[in-house]
Every structure is written in C-alpha cells, then in structure tokens.
Structure 1
C-alpha cells in the first residue's frame, strides 16, 4: 500500500503529537517530518516533498500564511491544510487567496481534520464548519452591502446610458449625437450622476458603476 506523506508544522509539541497520533491511525498515511517554525517548514517541505502539509498559522520566524504563499508560489499544486486557533475572516480569506486547500479551527473535532486531510488528498478543498460559517457571513455582508448601495443609488434609464457611454470613452458631443440630445443636456446628466454616485470625476464614476454592475 502506497502511503501518503504528511508534514506537520506547529511550534507546540503537544499539538504536533496530537496531530501525529490522529494521522497515524490511518494505515495509508505516514508522518515524514515535523517543523517547529516557518523557516524550518520551508526547508523540510523542499527536502521531503510531502503529499500534504498540515500547518498552524502562528509560528516563529514566519507565520503559516506567509509560508503558504511562499510554497504555493513555487509549487501551485501543493496541498496545504491550515490547522489554527483563529477563525478570523481575514486569515481565512487570505489563505483562500493564496491557494490553501483546507482550513480547520483547532477547537473543532478531530474528525474535521480527518475530513480535511482526506478531501485535500483527493484534490478537493475542505473548510471546516466554523471556517465555512465565517466565509458565509462575509459573503452575506458583501451581498447586503451591495444591495444597500444599489438601493441608495437610483439611476434613470438615460443616466445609465450616459454612464455606459462615458465608460466607452465618448465625449459629451459624441454622446449628444448618439442620443439625439444637446451637449448641455449631457452635461446636466453627467453632473447629476456625479452627485448621485458621490464621485468627483469620470474615472471614479466608471469604477463605481463597475462595482454596481451597471456596465453589463
């Protein structure tokens, strides 16, 4: 039976021992190394080439997020599971951004870590229940914020046309010709748009319109 090679990185010996015991209850998994710091993790990863790295975020030298970013920049397909006491949205989001495939909060059950190990070794992503709750909460906040912005900014059909033409780079005269209105009317619409969307120039106007998906 071919065994999957596991590297464990945590600065606390008790945590490393606990993870090691959990891992080695599975006959197809083997712990090939243990690291106590960020730099040591990088060295052992390069030397041992594990199938999976289980790592804490808070470590000496270099934290787990920076280690993950460094490893994944060189090895985009690397399998990393973060095992951390932090369920902070910023930590989880950054790990996702870097390409980390798994995230488990330490106060959860050992079965969560086992699910994460199995899932990631199969090429899937696995974020434990607590981590998923944080991600969902952030997503819900973003949706609510966007909806609020859209409700606060009510544009007429003509104003939306003007925004899109500004984004296309047309001058006021060109917009007037396109819409069969006067340049002065175009300028009036432009001024109203700036006021409604709380922006100072065309660049900010277009960026705000993009954020509100008005340029589709």
Structure 2
C-alpha cells in the first residue's frame, strides 16, 4: 500500500524535525521533502506533487499566504494545512479564501496537527478549536460593523406616537388635535422622522418603522 506523501515547509529546522517526528508515527504517511523558504516550497510542490503540504506562514522569500495562493491557483485541489504561530483573524481568513483546508496554531498540541492531517487527507477541512474561535470572533465583529445605521436609530416617545398616528392614516391637523400640539409641531416631527429614517414619504416611513419594529 502506497503512503501519503507529505511536504513540510518551515524555515525553522527544529519545527520541521518536530513535524517529521509526528508524521513518522503514522505508518500511512511519508515525508518526501522539506522546504526552508517560500520559493523552495513551490518548487518542491511542483516537483514532488505531495498529497499534503504542511506550511508555515512566516518564511523568507515568499510567505506562506503567497505560497498557498500561488499553489492553489494552479492546483485548486491541493491539500494545504497551515501550521503557524499567527492567530490573527485576517491571516486565517486570507488562507481560507485562498483555499487552505486546515489551520493549526503552533503552540497547540501535536494531536491537533495530527487531526488536521488525517482530516484533510480524508477530504475534509480541519481548523483547530482555537482557530475556530478566532474565525467566529472575526465573523461577529464583521457582522457588527456591517449593521445598518438604521439599526441604531433612536426615536423619541413623541416621534413614535407620530409614526403610529401616520400609520393609522391621520392628517397633521387630526394628529395635532389628538396630541394637543400645533400642526406646525406635527410637521416638524414628521420632517425629523423622515430625516432620521432616510425616507421620502409616509409610505416609506411606515414601512421602515415596521422593519425596525418601532411600531
């Protein structure tokens, strides 16, 4: 039975030795090459066509993200697992965007890398629990930043009363009589509401107020 070919790319010899030691414990895996910089990693990948590459991000010549981007652009089905000290959400997101199938932080246990290798070779993605937490935090922050400004609209109690009366079809005079204020004050409130909710007419005003659950 042929073994899965593993290529290791890391500029630290001690890290490569540690990964080789881990890989050697699995009888189905075989390290076929080692790269100590980005350009060498691409050259060895093209030459050896490994079943999986374990790739560091911080390397000379080309960093791991550049390496993964170039390799996956030419080989969309390539199996790349990033093993890096970087746990920044932007680094992880870019790697995922390029098509990296696994990501493990270097200070995590060896079993995490083992799980990643086996999962990816089985056609799955594997991101360690810590990496998943980083991805989730980045996602929630992104959603929060993209929230429409409308969600932050705050209406006064009087403005809410005006909106409800507009929805009931009352005229400015009828609203003025009901609220014991002048028609001019009603019109001022209406204008402020249009501005706050970024709408142009009563129909849009009612619709937006309903969307924001103001009425």
Superposition TM-score, scaled by structure 1 size: 0.70
The aligned residue for residue 32 of structure 2 is 32
Return 5+ residue gaps in structure 1 as ranges. 155-188, 198-216
What does the per-residue CA deviation read over 1:50-83, in whole Å, with 9 as the maximum and x for residues that have no partner?
Answer: 0000010000000000000000000000000000
- For the pair shown, the structure with the greater C-alpha radius of gyration is 2
Q: Helix, strand or coil for the counterpart of 1:11?
A: coil
Structure 1 CA distance for aligned equivalents of residues 147 and 49 of structure 2: 46
Structure 1 CA distance for aligned equivalents of residues 11 and 104 of structure 2: 17
Shift of 1:21: 0.5
Q: Helix, strand or coil for the counterpart of 2:59?
A: coil
Show the 5 A alignment for 1:1-216. Answer: 1-147=1-147, 149-153=149-153, 192=194, 196=197
Structure 2 CA distance for aligned equivalents of residues 144 and 39 of structure 1: 39
Q: How many residues align?
A: 163
Structure 2 CA distance for aligned equivalents of residues 87 and 150 of structure 1: 33
Superposition TM-score, scaled by structure 2 size: 0.71
Shift of 1:142: 2.5
The change in CA–CA distance for 1:150 and 1:104 in structure 2 (over 3 A counts) is farther
Q: Helix, strand or coil for the counterpart of 1:141?
A: helix
The change in CA–CA distance for 1:79 and 1:12 in structure 2 (over 3 A counts) is same
Shift of 1:145: 3.3
